Amino acid sequence: MLDLVIRNGIVVDGTGKPGFRADVMVRDGRIVGVGIGHDAEAKTVVDAKGKTVAPGFIDPHTHFDVQLLWDGAARPALEHGVTSIVPGNCSLSLAPLKAPDRPAVVGMFQQIEEMPPEAFTIAFDWTWENFEGYCAAIKKKLELNVAPLVGHSVIRLWVMGADSQKRAATADEIRAMQRLLRESLEAGAVGMSTSFVDMDAKGHPVPSRFAQFAELDALSAVLGEYGRMLQVVPEFYDTDITIARVDQLSRLSLAHGIPTTFSPLFDSTLTPNNVDRVMGRVEEQFARGARVWPQMQTRPIDVSFSLKRPSLFLARLPSWLRVMKKPFEERVAALKDPEVVAKLIADTGPDGGALYFGRLVIRGGDAAPASLVGRTIASLAAEKNETAAKTLIDISLAHGLDVAFLAASAGHEKTDRVGRMLAHPLMHVGASDGGAHLHSFATYGDTGYLFSEFVRKSHHFSLERAVQKITSETADIWGLPNRGRIARGAAADVVVFDAGTIARGEEKPVFDMPGGGMRYARSAIGVDTVVVNGAVAYAEGAYTGAKHGTICT
């Protein structure tokens, strides 16, 4: 008897070939058959009539390291059809980590993930120091698969202590780092991450940024022993430096036979040649035999701001800029001064700020009352028969300036441009940052957005090609055997979805972090069933609690 059969669906198997009508049969966590005409009994039957049956999606850039300690489904990633995630990016992982160094790394995670302090104090017990211990700590709860990276910064911190954020490493220290990396790879790490950009909670560069090239080269040599990935955050805000990093990664890739990947890389109308220039160099390096995969997110960049903290969003408007430069109390006083307010309104133009502020959405999760969450400034202004600028000021003043306004799709938003970039054969679709930036924006549902925006709306991808990008291609880039395909013998990671409706839901504030902490999240649309290693982990809008996830290497 089979454990599971998914009947009547259209199988899009992850290889890019056209979808075909077939049943998918599963036993002992593996796909044991794909075809029609089989009538073997199964303990569980999923009727996928009218639906697409695809390999589970793989998210190659996340920061779920902490969340996995209390939430083995990395909610809401799983409900979006994501069955495998890669945490430990950007030089940061939770192991190897000596007990006395925990506060320093917690600060780095809080800086990057914006996770509340309670997440580190009430949600789990620190039972590990080495990488094997961390994997053991998360493994028993896993509802999806985890392919973890080990962070260069924590390796450096383990070996060098406080000096890891002060100086270059000695030859002995580099050898100690190599041993620690080797040990971590043996324990399940799928590669190492490093960063040339990130800061800790005190605004100091993270340890990896103090490494000289010889150190990165020596660590890459260890990655080469295992054929494992080097993930990098380059100076993405500067095209020329990013290109220099592409060259550097290519050198490491060729010297040690390793795959490398870097992110973020996104489109901006202010630097319109950025992506094309970087991709030009990537193409050259691939032609030489290097593997240097750029990662690009599908979703546009949303910008948010409040009047509580100075934001450059308002810096185009001179009167607003003057007010935003003032200390908080003086800023509040200015916003209550009718003369100042008159100037602020005048500054926004004859429409009273309708163009500038009208489309802004009140986000929630702060002092804004629930009745205002999701409303646009334009709609509230119309209701009050007031200008948009005055409406924004009044709402802010009424709630201590602690009201966040969202400017959706403020960057990386030109579908015609971004679609072309995502469809490039060498572009690795990823960079979701899942589990990070909790207070800034939702990092979930990028896969749904790929289908809704770039398959159904802009047609940059066929359904089959989009599935391939986030399944078999990802598995192959990362060297994850038996993942990312619907095929006999493959791991039974499967998502059943409606190709006509799959999408990301609206962004909403939710309070599900330890201690009631807030984050922005998006639920899934159009995802019916998610299977992880042969067990139904999500169905009919609910998590089943099946803990069949694993550390997949």
Partner 1 sequence: MSEAAPDAVIVGAEIAAGHDGAAELLVRLKYENGTVGTVTLNADVGFALIRACGADKIEELAGHSWRKILEGLEHA
Binding site for partner 1 (CB under 8 A): 236-240, 264, 266, 268, 270-271, 301-305, 309-313, 315-318, 321-322, 324-325, 407, 410-412, 437, 440-441
Nearer to partner 1, 17 or 309 (CB): 309
Q: How far apart are CA 253 and CA 264, in angstroms?
A: 19
Tell me the closest approach of the beta carbon of residue 271 to partner 1, in angstroms.
6
Tell me the closest approach of the beta carbon of residue 494 to partner 1, in angstroms.
33
Nearer to partner 1, 304 or 550 (CB): 304
Q: How many CB atoms lie within 10 A of CB 189?
A: 31
Tell me the closest approach of the beta carbon of residue 341 to partner 1, in angstroms.
18
Amino acid residing at 393: I
Longest dimension (CA), the chain: 79
- Could you tell me whether strands 229-233 and 292-296 are parallel, antiparallel, or unpaired per DSSP bridges? unpaired
Q: How far apart are CA 468 and CA 477, in angstroms?
A: 12
CB 488 within 8 A of CB 31: yes
Indicate the helix (H) or strand (E) that contains 109: helix 102-113
Tell me the closest approach of the beta carbon of residue 315 to partner 1, in angstroms.
5
Tell me the closest approach of the beta carbon of residue 311 to partner 1, in angstroms.
6
Nearer to partner 1, 182 or 508 (CB): 508
Nearer to partner 1, 27 or 299 (CB): 299
Nearer to partner 1, 305 or 538 (CB): 305
Q: How far apart are CA 519 and CA 516, in angstroms?
A: 10
Nearer to partner 1, 175 or 325 (CB): 325
The span from the first CA to the last CA of the chain, in angstroms, equals 29
Nearer to partner 1, 83 or 304 (CB): 304
Q: Is 302 helix (H, G, I), strand (E, B) or coil?
A: strand
Tell me the closest approach of the beta carbon of residue 272 to partner 1, in angstroms.
12
Tell me the closest approach of the beta carbon of residue 213 to partner 1, in angstroms.
23
Indicate the helix (H) or strand (E) that contains 537: strand 535-539
Q: How far apart are CA 389 and CA 219, in angstroms?
A: 54
Tell me the closest approach of the beta carbon of residue 422 to partner 1, in angstroms.
17
Q: How far apart are CA 346 and CA 163, in angstroms?
A: 53
Q: How far apart are CA 192 and CA 317, in angstroms?
A: 44
Amino acid residing at 85: I
Tell me the closest approach of the beta carbon of residue 349 to partner 1, in angstroms.
14
Burial class (CB in 10 A: 0-12, 13-18, 19+), 299: buried
CB 270 within 8 A of CB 241: no
Q: How far apart are CA 16 and CA 463, in angstroms?
A: 9
Nearer to partner 1, 319 or 387 (CB): 319
Nearer to partner 1, 131 or 444 (CB): 444
